[in-house]
Structure formats: structure tokens, C-alpha cells
Amino acid sequence: MNTLDCINERMSVRSFTNENVEDEKLRILASAALQAPTAMNSRDMMITIVRGDRLEKINKAMEEAIPENMRGNFVDSNGKFDFYRGGNALIVVSFGPRSVLPEQNTGCAMENMYLAATELGLGACWINQFYSFRSDKIDKLLELDDGYRPYAALSVGHIDKKPTRKEKDGKIVFLK
């Protein structure tokens, strides 16, 4: 798949099989994040891959961190709180104190992983709750180095049901 096809094929997937994502594919996604540009080449990035029991513990901690009036947005079709949208691996992007413009750097890392997941035939969904609903409990579960803060994560898995493609719109303006 060429780059432009990959960009056009990328979409948020929220329906995954129970099949675990292979370690090598997770390594490829994490490496794609590390290849992303960062402001002033500050590179103070930490990638954490979460699976298994730890994923459920983080899900529970996130349920406690998200305000009660918003929790309903993260309930799956079975009535279970699921902020990571059903993927069986979560790749968390964190930045440390030497990072310049970490919010923008996060976007670059996330897009690289999204495109790599598409290339590998995996489903992915951007999870931004780490930035908005921080807690010391979540930081401890992520075993972050001192001074690091989680900004976003990519929920990944093998696709169960591919979503219907939605038309992307916006404006393109040429100025002379």
C-alpha cells in the first residue's frame, strides 16, 4: 500500500476480535511513533505498550478519573465501561520534561502509528482521555519515568467489523 492509499484508508475502528496483536506488530507501531517529528527535535518521548490484566486495571482507574456525567460515553454494547474501545492492546504516548510542544508532538506520533496500523491490516482508535483525565493511579499503572505525562494512546486490535467509511470534508483554499 502506498502512503496516499494508506492515508485514505485510515479510519477509527471500535470493533475488534479477541485475537491478540502480535508482539512484532506492536513493536512496529511503537517504532513508527518514535520516528515522528517533534518540535525542535526535543525527542523526550516514552512509548508504553499495555495488554492483559494491566489494561483492565487502567480501564478501572480511568473509570474513576472520568467525571460521572461523562462515563456513559464510554460504555460498550454490553454495558461495560470501556474507554479504550475494545482493542486488546493500548500504545500510550507520553512526553517528559524536556519535550517542547508535547501536544503537537503527540499528534505526529499518533498519526504515524495510525498509518502503520492501517498498513499492517490492524484496526486502531485514538484515545485522548489520558491528557484530560489524569490521575496518579494511572501514571503508576503506566510505570512512567519521573516527569513524564501521558497524552494519548492508540487502541489496536484485529478488526472484527470494519466501520462504514464516512466522507471527510473541509476546505482547501489556494491563495496567490
- Angle of helix 23-34 relative to helix 102-119, nearest 10 degrees, comes to 140
- pTM of the predicted model as reported, rounded to 2 decimal places: 0.92
Residue 132 has a pLDDT of: 85
Domain 3-158 adopts which CATH fold?
A: NADH Oxidase (3.40.109)
Residue 22 has a pLDDT of: 97
Name the stretches of the chain with pLDDT < 70: none
Residue 131 has a pLDDT of: 83
With residues binned 3-state (H G I as helix, E B as strand, rest as coil), the percentages for the chain, rounded to 5, are 40, 20, 40
Whole-angstrom distance, CA of residue 97 vs CA of residue 147: 6
DSSP string, 83-148: TTTT-SEEEEEEE-TT-SSHHHHHHHHHHHHHHHHHHTTEEEEEE-HHHHS--HHHHHHTTPPTT-
pLDDT digits (tens, 9 = 90+) for 81-107: 998 888 999 999 999 999 999 999 999
User: Cell numbers 498509518 label which residue?
Assistant: 115
pLDDT digits (tens, 9 = 90+) for 54-73: 999 999 999 999 988 988 88
Residue 97 has a pLDDT of: 94
Cβ proximity of 2 and 150 under 8 Å: no
Going from N- to C-terminal start, the domains of the chain cover 3-158
